[in-house]
Amino acid sequence: MGSKNKNGEIEENSCRNPDGTLRLRNRNIEHLQEDILYHLALGTESHDLVKMFGDVKFVCMGGTANRMKHLAQYLKTEMNFELPTGTSLCDLTENSHRFSMYKVGPILCVNHGMGVPSIGILLHEITKLMYHAKAKNPIFFRIGTCGGIGLKEGTVIVSKSAVDEMGNAYHTQKICGKVVQRPAKLDHQLVKDLISLKKSDDKFNVVEGITMCADDFYEGQGRTDGAFCDHTEEDKFNYLKELQNRGVTNIEMEAVAFAAFTHYAGIKAALINVALVNRLNGDQVTTPKEVLLEWQNHPQIIVGRYIKQILCKN
């Protein structure tokens, strides 16, 4: 089930077999007649998961189904992937009515919904999918949007670490009536590799940052424009400045859970977000939709370059 190093930390490689396939921290799965991935509408008996997904090397996650379909289309064109004759890009989990997933070559693009509970469900089932498919050394990306703190709108932030609203670098979960804390860690070399792919003629900046994960879009992020607000504008500004002083660059709603889960699972992973608003200047996103859509392309450009670089090496 994994070994610990001299510091008592779980070693990431303890969750992988020598050939790069994943091990699960749950022996109960071995005794199931069929493992049903309910929210993906897939199962180990009803589908040939090795044949369908055994070649996957990259799993890209984002909030909305439309954004992930757009990402799949972008990567298909960027990598010059050809779909089998007579077929088109399709939602492989359409029957689940929960998540939408697209596959182009060795890349999966799947939406995770909004917030920690939603991405948590997807992470469990995607990780089990990679396990059953015998995929080797898959890399996970969360590609999304966020609110920046003191950053220009359109800036891409590659997270070097993730914290919760109280500044804790771990994800807290309640399991069987007990509080469990798992460290939220990301692969630092992957962060450097992604940032290095910024080109001089890009019309956007790419920075390394610390991402705060909130459990809510309004009060949890200190906004004053929700249905409830028991804090003042001054309270909000002081909180945001405090976060900035701690090195926090942006706020979103999945980072800590994503970082903690992938670290515990021994999966190399990265968080890449684009800032749609500078929270020091206001709460509401007032930028025209066409500009927002352009900004949302920025993280996928960086991830696309990384994937292309890795595939070209192989």
What pLDDT digit, counting tens, does each position of 284-312 carry?
888 899 999 999 999 999 999 999 999 98
7, part of any domain:
no
Q: How long is the chain? A: 314
Rounded (10°) CA dihedral 72, 155, 140, 302:
60
Task: Give 87 or 142, the one with higher predicted confidence.
Answer: 142
Output the pLDDT for position 111.
Answer: 94
**107-117: string of b/e by CB count within 10 Å (b at 16+)?**
bbbbbbbebbe
Output the pLDDT for position 306.
Answer: 97
97 pLDDT tier (thresholds 50, 70, 90) = confident
Average predicted confidence (pLDDT) for the chain: 92
The set of residues, in sequence order, having a beta carbon less than 8 Å from that of 295 and lying 6+ positions away, is: 145, 153, 154, 204, 274, 276, 287
3, part of any domain:
no
Task: Look at residues 273, 263, 272 and name the one whose alpha carbon lies nearest to residue 186.
Answer: 263
DSSP percent split of the chain into helix, strand, coil, nearest 5: 35, 25, 40
42, part of any domain:
yes
Neighbours of 249 (CB within 10 A): 24
2, part of any domain:
no
4, part of any domain:
no
47, part of any domain:
yes
In angstroms, rounded to a whole number, what is the distance separating the alpha carbons of residues 68 and 112? 10
Average pLDDT over residues 255-278: 97
Task: Look at residues 262, 222, 216 and name the one whose alpha carbon lies nearest to residue 242.
Answer: 222
Judged against a pLDDT cut of 70, whether residue 13 lies above it is answered with no
Judged against a pLDDT cut of 80, whether residue 88 lies above it is answered with no
The pTM assigned to this predicted structure is: 0.92
Judged against a pLDDT cut of 60, whether residue 98 lies above it is answered with yes
Output the pLDDT for position 5.
Answer: 46
Judged against a pLDDT cut of 50, whether residue 19 lies above it is answered with yes
Domain of residue 257, CATH code: 3.40.50.1580
Q: Which of 6-10, 29-33, 199-203, 233-237 has the lowest mean pLDDT?
A: 6-10
Q: Are the beta carbons of 254 and 216 closer than 8 angstroms?
A: no
182 bridge partner residues: 171
DSSP state of 25: S
1, part of any domain:
no
Task: Look at residues 142, 137, 139 and name the one whose alpha carbon lies nearest to residue 162.
Answer: 142
14 pLDDT tier (thresholds 50, 70, 90) = low
Structural domain tally of the chain?
1
294, part of any domain:
yes
Neighbours of 166 (CB within 10 A): 7
86 pLDDT tier (thresholds 50, 70, 90) = low
Q: Which domain holds residue 286?
A: 12-313
In angstroms, rounded to a whole number, what is the distance separating the alpha carbons of residues 259 and 204? 25
